[in-house]
């Protein structure tokens, strides 16, 4: 049975607010009917929506790292946060802790493309959150031209003084050390251990591997800051020589796909089947004579001596091999175009499905009609005080609705353009390989000389034409230990 915690929030800034008791009742009913056990309840009272000072919310996020429950159950998603960016950030933290967010009253789409879209939108928010409106964008550009720091997460190694980014010499030393070590071939994990041993931390904790990987890719350390098509060399002072950065970038590019998760996660867990005996292929850990830990994938049938002789494969090799091929396939123009158009359509659907906006628009139309009816009555000589009062009421209501509609629209108006979606798709292919594998691949049947990759259908409903992903079918050959492995790609219907 799955477990959940409830998060409820009552904000005093809305009159139609559901009470805490009401929220809890709905959530508990939802849990009962979905066979979910509630293990804890977090409540914030009378805080405004824009104020992030919500002690129980923070506590809930913190507690999620203990990985003791599966879901956070909410009355409505807006309990979580009214700020999309903030919501994405918190949702990502929870997801990293294996926790999903459920709304008891709203449908949250969970189809593969919605998951990809969500992660892309998250990425989008992370990268472009600072430019939600043209105005902000323009202001920031002006600011950049002056060499001013425009806010956001500040890169390790720098600090801000009088609106300018300056080198934090103590931290810059660590940055140089990290790059030099990596250039010499030291593993990120070992670099972190060395830093920790020296007492060098990031925000009081040992560096995370992802942080180091992000640092290794960050051109700002050479003094160059690219923003869209503009290049600014007056914002970040140089910490590293260009040659060292280039050397490291080249090195890290060679092992980038999904690396950050490969250290601890078995990328292909539950996806592999032995082509000879049909048993699952599972992850194993062994130790070489010198004591070095090696990880590999082994047929369970062979492990239990059913006579199968399927060769074991090194974890890193197989994962890189699969990821490389998935990324290659999904990067091809035809596949890419199809995915982008599916994602753009999905985005439109999400926006049109905005129930609040629909309700407000309907109410607005009704109000307009009522006003024009009264206008007609007045024209026909009916000008009593009651009629005039009613008229004023309606005008006021119309104004309020207009405002509410504008707010609703602004929340969904920052839609991702096709160009941006394309950029994010490419980026997701590089950085979210784990996510892609999990979502897109249904099964991989493994032989010694070939593998058959079966993809999930990215689109479950819709006309036949849009469900035609036959271009997924592809045969690829890649060498392994001098042999060529044939790859067949098929597609689950
Ligand atoms: Zn087998």
Tokens linked to 43:
């409540």
Give me the pLDDT at residue 473, please. 45
Cα of 452 vs centre of ligand 1, distance in Å, is 15
Protein fold of 146-254: Hect, E3 ligase catalytic domain fold (3.90.1750)
Q: pLDDT tens digit string along 264-283? A: 456 677 788 998 999 999 88
**Tens of pLDDT, residues 340-357:** 777 677 667 666 666 677
| Tens of pLDDT, residues 370-416 | 888 888 877 777 667 777 788 888 888 888 888 777 666 655 545 66
pLDDT number for residue 279: 92
Q: Which residue(s) pair with 451 in the sheet?
A: 446, 487
**Mutual angle of helices 433-440 and 418-431, in 10-degree steps:** 100
We find that the CATH architecture of domain 2-108 is 3-Layer(aba) Sandwich (3.40)
Q: What is the structure's pLDDT at 7?
A: 92
Residue 350's pLDDT is 62
Between 147-156, 249-258, 291-300, 416-425, the lowest mean confidence (pLDDT) is in: 249-258
Q: 312: CA distance to ligand 1 center in Å?
A: 10
| Cα–ligand 1 centroid distance for 225 (angstroms) | 52
Strands 158-161 and 272-274: unpaired
Cα 489 to ligand 1 centroid, rounded to whole Å: 20
Mean of the pLDDT values across residues 439-457?
76
> Which strands, in side-by-side order, build the sheet including 281-287?
281-287, 293-299, 313-314
Whether 479 shows a pLDDT value over 50: the answer reads: no
Q: What span, in angstroms and rounded, lies between the C-alpha atoms of 84 and 91?
A: 10
Q: 488 C-alpha to center of ligand 1: Å?
A: 19
Q: What distance in angstroms lies between residue 304's CA and the mean position of ligand 1's atoms?
A: 10
Q: Distance, CA 273 to ligand 1 centroid (Å)?
A: 8
Residue 447 CA to ligand 1 center (angstroms) comes to 9
Q: Give me Rg for the CA atoms of the chain.
A: 27
Assess whether pLDDT exceeds 60 at residue 48: no
Q: 135-163 burial, b if ≥16 CB within 10 A, otherwise e?
A: eeeeebbeebeeebbbeeeebbbbeeeee
Is the four-CA dihedral 168, 169, 174, 176 of positive or negative sign? positive
Mean pLDDT taken over the chain = 74
CA of 486 to the centre of ligand 1 (A): 18
User: What is the per-residue pLDDT for 11?
Assistant: 65
Residue 438 CA to ligand 1 centre (angstroms): 23
Q: What is the pLDDT of residue 126?
A: 41
Query: Which position has the higher pLDDT, 460 or 202?
Result: 202
Question: How confident is the model over 9-29, as a mean pLDDT?
Answer: 76
CA of 37 to the centre of ligand 1 (A): 39
Q: How far apart are the CA of 275 and the centre of ligand 1, in A? A: 7
In angstroms, the CA 304 to CA 296 distance is: 16
- Residue extents of the structural domains in the chain: 2-108, 146-254, 359-413
The per-residue pLDDT for range 232-253, each reduced to its tens digit, is 787 888 999 999 998 888 777 6
Residue 3: the pLDDT is 93
Alpha carbon of 251 to ligand 1 centroid (Å): 36
């Amino acid at each position: 049975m799955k477990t959940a915690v409830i998060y409820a929030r009552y904000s005093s800034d809305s009159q139609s607010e559901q009470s805490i008791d009401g929220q809890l009742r709905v959530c508990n009913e939802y849990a009962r009917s979905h066979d979910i056990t509630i293990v804890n309840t977090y409540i914030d009272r009378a805080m405004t929506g824009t104020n992030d000072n919500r002690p129980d919310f923070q506590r809930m996020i913190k507690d999620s790292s203990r990985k003791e429950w599966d879901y956070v159950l909410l009355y409505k998603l807006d309990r979580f946060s009214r700020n999309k960016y903030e919501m994405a950030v918190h949702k990502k933290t929870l997801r990293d802790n294996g926790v999903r967010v459920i709304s008891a009253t709203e449908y949250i789409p969970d189809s593969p493309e919605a998951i990809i879209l969500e992660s892309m939108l998250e990425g989008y928010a992370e990268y472009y959150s600072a430019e939600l409106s043209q105005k902000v964008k323009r202001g920031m550009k002006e600011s950049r031209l002056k060499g001013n720091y425009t806010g956001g997460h500040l890169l390790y190694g720098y600090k801000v003084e009088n609106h300018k980014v300056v080198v934090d010499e103590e931290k810059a030393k660590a940055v140089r050390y990290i790059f030099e070590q990596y250039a010499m071939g030291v593993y990120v994990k070992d670099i972190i251990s060395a830093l920790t041993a020296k007492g060098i931390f990031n925000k009081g904790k040992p560096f995370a591997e992802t942080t180091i990987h992000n640092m290794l890719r960050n051109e700002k350390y050479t003094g160059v800051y690219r923003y869209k098509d503009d290049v600014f060399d007056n914002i970040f002072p140089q910490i590293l020589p260009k040659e060292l950065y280039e050397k490291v970038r080249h090195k890290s590019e060679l092992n980038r796909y999904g690396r950050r998760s490969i250290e601890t996660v078995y990328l292909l867990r539950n996806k592999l089947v032995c082509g000879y005996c049909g048993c699952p292929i599972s992850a194993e850990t062994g130790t070489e004579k010198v004591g070095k830990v090696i990880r590999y994938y082994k047929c369970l049938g062979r492990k239990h001596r059913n006579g199968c002789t399927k060769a074991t494969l090194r974890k890193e090799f197989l994962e890189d091999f699969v990821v490389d091929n998935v990324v290659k396939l999904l990067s091809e123009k035809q596949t890419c175009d199809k995915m982008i158009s599916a994602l753009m359509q999905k985005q439109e659907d999400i926006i049109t499905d905005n129930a609040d906006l629909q309700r407000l628009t309907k109410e607005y139309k009704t109000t307009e009609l009522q006003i024009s009816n009264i206008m007609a009555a007045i024209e026909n000589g009916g000008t009593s005080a009651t009629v005039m009062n009613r008229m004023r009421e309606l005008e006021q209501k119309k104004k309020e609705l207009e405002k509410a509609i504008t707010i609703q629209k602004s929340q969904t108006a920052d839609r991702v353009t096709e160009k941006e979606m394309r950029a994010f798709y490419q980026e997701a292919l590089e950085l979210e390989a784990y996510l892609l594998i999990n979502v897109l691949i249904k099964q991989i049947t493994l032989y010694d000389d070939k593998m058959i990759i079966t993809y999930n259908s990215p689109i479950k409903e819709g006309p036949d034409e849009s469900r035609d992903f036959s271009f997924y079918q592809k045969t690829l050959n890649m060498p392994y230990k001098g042999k060529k492995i044939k790859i067949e790609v098929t597609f689950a219907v």
